[in-house]
Structure 1
Amino acid sequence: MTNRAINFYAGPAGLPLPALERAKEELLDFAGTGMSVMEVSHRSKEYDAVHEEALALTRELMGIPANYKIILLQGGAHLSFGMIPLNFLRGSHKADYINTGNWAEKAYKEAKLVGGEERVRLAGSTKAENYARLPKKSELNIHPDSMYVHFTSNNTVEGTQWQEFPETGGIPYICDMSSDIMWRPFDVSKFGMIYAGAQKNLGPSGVTLHIVSDEFLEKAEAQDLPSYLRYKLHAEKNSLYNTPPTFGIYILRNVLAYNKSIGGLKAIEANNRRKGELLYGCIDKHAGFFKPFVTEKADRSLMNVDFFLPTEELTDMFVKEAKKAGMVGLKGYRDVGGIRVSTYNAVTVQNVETLVQFMEAFVKKNG
């Protein structure tokens, strides 16, 4: 297709074209059923094949050990913010939260509604600096009696990303990876739980991926919770306790199958790093015109790149002229302003090359 927009929206975000084309081809007749996948029972053998393939591809691409469960739920990361403390912070259990941005702060606030200030502790924060960097190792206060340490791997709003995960002294991680899940390979075995809304790097909104170790799942104490809020129940029912978001899981399967076909996470990481080199290279080259939001280069995100132009007028002009050139989603988050470029997995190197060419021309014309 020649009229596809170059999509830099922060989420819901762009999807790989082959995954969408596959859906287009099968939309009215899925697996020979004479029906759309949206019309087929979630108990049917046709849908079950998609469900199992999505789980298997997730395990294969991420190298998830056999002693981990994969759970697909609705509700987004917002539901997980509350479900996690409801399941794992019962009684006298305590946890540490690292606050590095808008969504990390929301997770911390939701947990405090369950565990209170005494049991849900702030292990580190850069809020006083508008989250323009990540906490340093020396600034973190991890308590040895914590059941888990929660952090957000990539901060979508502010454009910071943990290139190396924080040290916890062996205490399990729980990590919100909504905006950088599967951007590179990493060791899943260090995590008690990973969760991620699909709508940035994996698929459409409406699906949330959870990866949880059997050992950590056993610590859940939730028999008095409403059934849907129990992680153990969803794990036992293979994410089929209730009707799952079948079309979302179908698109997730398509995206994961495409990711495998192009070489998996190693190939995806190489593309992501190249996009970062191009975009940050242009920003740094024109440092007098483009001002990065993130103050520490080591904390720069390869998924969300925030920067400012000299004036609001130039910012508005940048967004409008980019849209005329076929590029959308570049307006910064309302609490930050400026420009935000979201370069998730589906954004190609060629897309970023096109943006950089536009940026170079914009500086030449307006700098």
Structure 2
Amino acid sequence: MSAVYNFCAGPAMLPAPVMVKAQSEFINWNNTGCSVMELSHRSKEFMAVASKAESDLRQLMCIPDNYKVLFCHGGGRGQFSAVPLNLLPKNKSADYVVTGAWSKAAALEAANFGQINTINVVEELNGKRQIQDPAQWSLSPEAAYVHYCPNETVDGLELFEIPESHGVPLVADLSSTILSREIDVSKFGLIYAGAQKNIGPSGLTIVIVRDDLLGNAHISTPCILNYQTEADNGSMYNTPPTYAWYLAGLVFEWLHSVGGVKAIQKINKEKAELIYRYVDSSSFYRNDIVPQHRSLMNVPFWLNDESLNNAFLSQAEDAGLLALAGHRMVGGMRASIYNAMPIEGVQKLVEFMHEFEKENS
């Protein structure tokens, strides 16, 4: 079977070594005679798996000791509710910076639980979209927190600098960019990330929350969305998504083996530059984002002749290049090139794009 490369935005491909190891352990994990997904989450065996996964993640991200790491249910959308339920008092408001589809969705959900100030910061310059300089954002010094999404998977926009929130807790949806590049966790009050892009399979969500932000949840907050409850119970107030947790741990081990976040960041830049460089050199394809805000994880591009879209997708799939259709809200194409995507997959994509252009110009 020839190589197949999955460019899906999520659930995304997992590292091949992780999949091979998981397959080899599927029926008989660690000589227990059963699968890890059959172990009690409170058994000493699984507790060791959980503890190592957290330890490896803390090392990869240099997470300070005054932050709790929670392994939760509910995906990113679950956190759209959990964040205001835990951090937004009734007498205060929160700032939601909107840079694309996911930050907009987070703001709409949060508005169900309190007062939200929505701040739109995407602007157009010479036909290209960009994110307004964070120094110009109209943030309130009295806000309970500032929420933003550094990388918008649908729109292909990424903000690489960490905004200055002037002492107001900064909350970030890192679902599509966590572990792809180095960040200073201490600049954030809370980080959350759905697992299905750079961490593992869907069904698991990582929350990294500073200790001083715990214990303030609305009285009506469901227990499994209450950060204090999850922290007090080691993310095991109820049965957690154990197999997803185990696979996340294998991904963390794999990331350590390739040199950690600093090493994968270098590879991710190389992968993204391959596509953007080709698109910029072509009159057949286009990208409408200024270079400094182009996502490293989700590369959108459009064919100037959109009548060729179906042919492009069909022939790409025949070539082993899967899930390249852009999000239904924006159309075009999108190559999601998370950590697990090898550079060979991106090279094959660019070669295909070149051949398709030659045949249809």
Query: 1:44 matched to which residue of 2?
Result: 43
Query: 2:16 matched to which residue of 1?
Result: 17
Query: 1:315 matched to which residue of 2?
Result: 309
- After TM superposition, the runs of 4+ consecutive aligned structure 1 residues lying more than 4 A away are 127-131
1:256 to 230, 245, 252: 252
SS state of the match for residue 146, structure 1? coil
Measured after TM superposition, the shift of residue 124 of structure 1 is 3.1
TM-score (norm 1): 0.94
Measured after TM superposition, the shift of residue 91 of structure 1 is 2.2
State the alpha-carbon separation in 2 of the partners of residues 293 and 210 from structure 1.
32
Query: Is 1:292 aligned to 2:287, yes or no?
Result: yes
Deviations 1:79-117 (A, max 9, x none): 1001111111122122101011111111001111111xx
Measured after TM superposition, the shift of residue 40 of structure 1 is 1.1
Query: 1:305 matched to which residue of 2?
Result: 299
- Runs of 5+ unmatched residues, structure 2: none
Contact 1:100–1:127 (8 Å) recurs in 2: no
Query: 2:85 matched to which residue of 1?
Result: 86
Query: Is 1:351 aligned to 2:350, yes or no?
Result: no
State the alpha-carbon separation in 2 of the partners of residues 74 and 226 from structure 1.
12
Measured after TM superposition, the shift of residue 135 of structure 1 is 2.5
Contact 2:123–2:130 (8 Å) recurs in 1: no
Contact 1:158–1:293 (8 Å) recurs in 2: no
- Runs of 5+ unmatched residues, structure 1: none
State the alpha-carbon separation in 1 of the partners of residues 75 and 118 from structure 2.
23
State the alpha-carbon separation in 1 of the partners of residues 227 and 318 from structure 2.
46
State the alpha-carbon separation in 1 of the partners of residues 69 and 207 from structure 2.
6
State the alpha-carbon separation in 1 of the partners of residues 65 and 128 from structure 2.
37
State the alpha-carbon separation in 1 of the partners of residues 274 and 233 from structure 2.
45
State the alpha-carbon separation in 2 of the partners of residues 76 and 199 from structure 1.
9
SS state of the match for residue 38, structure 1? helix
Give the AA of the match of 2:143.
Answer: S
Cα separation, partners in 2 of 1:42 and 1:238, compared to 1, 3 Å: same
Give the AA of the match of 1:227.
Answer: C
Contact 1:124–1:139 (8 Å) recurs in 2: no
Between 1:306-315 and 1:228-237, the stretch displaced more is 306-315
TM-score (norm 2): 0.96
Query: Is 1:331 aligned to 2:325, yes or no?
Result: yes
What is the percentage of aligned positions where both structures have the same residue? 42
Cα separation, partners in 2 of 1:111 and 1:30, compared to 1, 3 Å: same
Give the AA of the match of 1:365.
Answer: E
2:164 to 163, 167, 192: 167
For residues 48-87 of structure 1, the aligned pairs below 5 Å read 48-87=47-86
Corresponding residue pairs, total: 360
Query: 1:244 matched to which residue of 2?
Result: 240
Deviations 1:270-308 (A, max 9, x none): 10010011111101111x2111132x2111000001111
Measured after TM superposition, the shift of residue 131 of structure 1 is 10
Cα separation, partners in 2 of 1:4 and 1:44, compared to 1, 3 Å: farther
Contact 1:193–1:211 (8 Å) recurs in 2: yes
User: RMSD value over aligned CA atoms?
Assistant: 1.7
Measured after TM superposition, the shift of residue 128 of structure 1 is 9.0
Contact 2:268–2:296 (8 Å) recurs in 1: yes
Query: 1:216 matched to which residue of 2?
Result: 213
Query: 2:186 matched to which residue of 1?
Result: 189
State the alpha-carbon separation in 2 of the partners of residues 226 and 344 from structure 1.
32
Contact 2:170–2:190 (8 Å) recurs in 1: yes
Deviations 1:169-210 (A, max 9, x none): 232210000011000111000000000000011100000000
State the alpha-carbon separation in 2 of the partners of residues 91 and 364 from structure 1.
60
Contact 2:89–2:144 (8 Å) recurs in 1: no
Contact 1:153–1:176 (8 Å) recurs in 2: yes
